[in-house]
Amino acid sequence: MKKANILLIATLFAMAGCSGGKQAADDLITVDVTANYPEKELVLQDIMDVEYVPLETTDEFVTKGVVKAIGKDILLVTNQNDGNIFVFDRKTGKGLKKINRMGQGGEEYSFATYIALDEDKGEMFVADYGTKKILVYDLSGNFKRSFKYADTSHYDDLFNYDKDHLISYKKYWTPKESEQACHILISKQDGSIAREIQIPSKEMETPVVTKDEFVIAPEFHLTFPNHTDWSLVNTSSDTIYRYFPDGNIKPLIARTPSIHAMETKVFLFPTVITDRYYFMRTMKKEVDFKTFKGFPSTDLVYDKQENALFQYTLCNADYSNKQQVSLGLNFNGIVNQEIATCQSLEAADLIEANDKGQLKGRLKEIAAGLDEEANAVIMLVKYKQE
């Protein structure tokens, strides 16, 4: 059995360039992204708490169930490209409000790329990638204010950070400008950058593949909320960092071999971090241009108790047929310090599974009341409460 290499960090790291705080000393997990690790099967409910929200279906509330933000009391859900933002009650799944401010006006968005929710203030922050602007609305859809992205940058990922700030990743398209790329804390009031958090790196490396006139970009994220803090990624760095509310930063996971030494690049991203398990995913920078399929990935988990790395499968105990759950990278700003990830379960699939006798408990009860035209059931995967 391969063991994870544990390196003791004995020195403090002084953040270069942008301000960000000091690194605390701690153990660093090292992952060989080229190794073959033994397999491990885990049960979701042994690690996380699970909550199901059946979204109400009416003539007004018809949605594909793309969850954009999760609060204590509400969910924000979209159809991805028609401009509709649906507000659902998290406890009951009842539709509360349908909002659509898509347009070309100063108070409108052309596309809701990311949505960050500040439930305490009753505000949602819609990041419009096309216009490089963040627009702020109340939960009835009334416009409140807007602000532009900083300089020539683009923002990737957008999360509610604290009562005064959002967190995002500021990126640039040109290699020269990319030296300025970093994670940022953004003022909710006027969009000014309150703090820049720089991850040291060498020359720029990304999973984006270019060939002739083709540019193929997989979905990947650089900002990951943990239960009590944040994991920050720069694809040009061999180290994933942990960022704490007090501004301190420390190494969390180091990958080997170095991304800069690999002929075919393999990237590493965290997905969910718990007290015992560090879930992550590799992504190989490789595309078949005949089929346009690519970016093969491997799901890995580091078990702190066993001090070992594994390839894993994660099964939902509410299914009798070992239905697998993904802790992958396919989320926007939905996760937070309570929610690790979520998944939309299609009504037709649940009905079929229930007819086959494959469902149990609360999920079986919900499926029994669905028809095939119903909206999705949202499965919230939550960190276990101590």
pLDDT-based confidence at residue 368 (cuts at 50, 70, 90): very high
**No. of helices (H) and no. of strands (E), the chain:** 3, 30
Give 240-297 pLDDT, tens digit per residue.
999 998 999 999 999 999 999 999 999 999 999 999 999 999 999 999 988 989 999 9
Query: Over 50: is that where the pLDDT of 15 sits?
Result: no
Paired tokens of 324: 């697998």
Full-model pTM: 0.89
Does residue 327 contact residue 299 with C-beta atoms inside 8 Å?
yes
Separation CA 9–CA 313 (nearest Å): 31
CA angle 118, 124, 125 (to 5 degrees): 110
pLDDT at position 292: 85
Let me know if domain 5-14+26-383 sits in CATH 1.10.10: no
- Give domain limits for the chain: 5-14+26-383
Does residue 367 contact residue 358 with C-beta atoms inside 8 Å?
no
306 vs 19, higher pLDDT: 306
Secondary structure of residue 300 in the 3-state scheme: strand
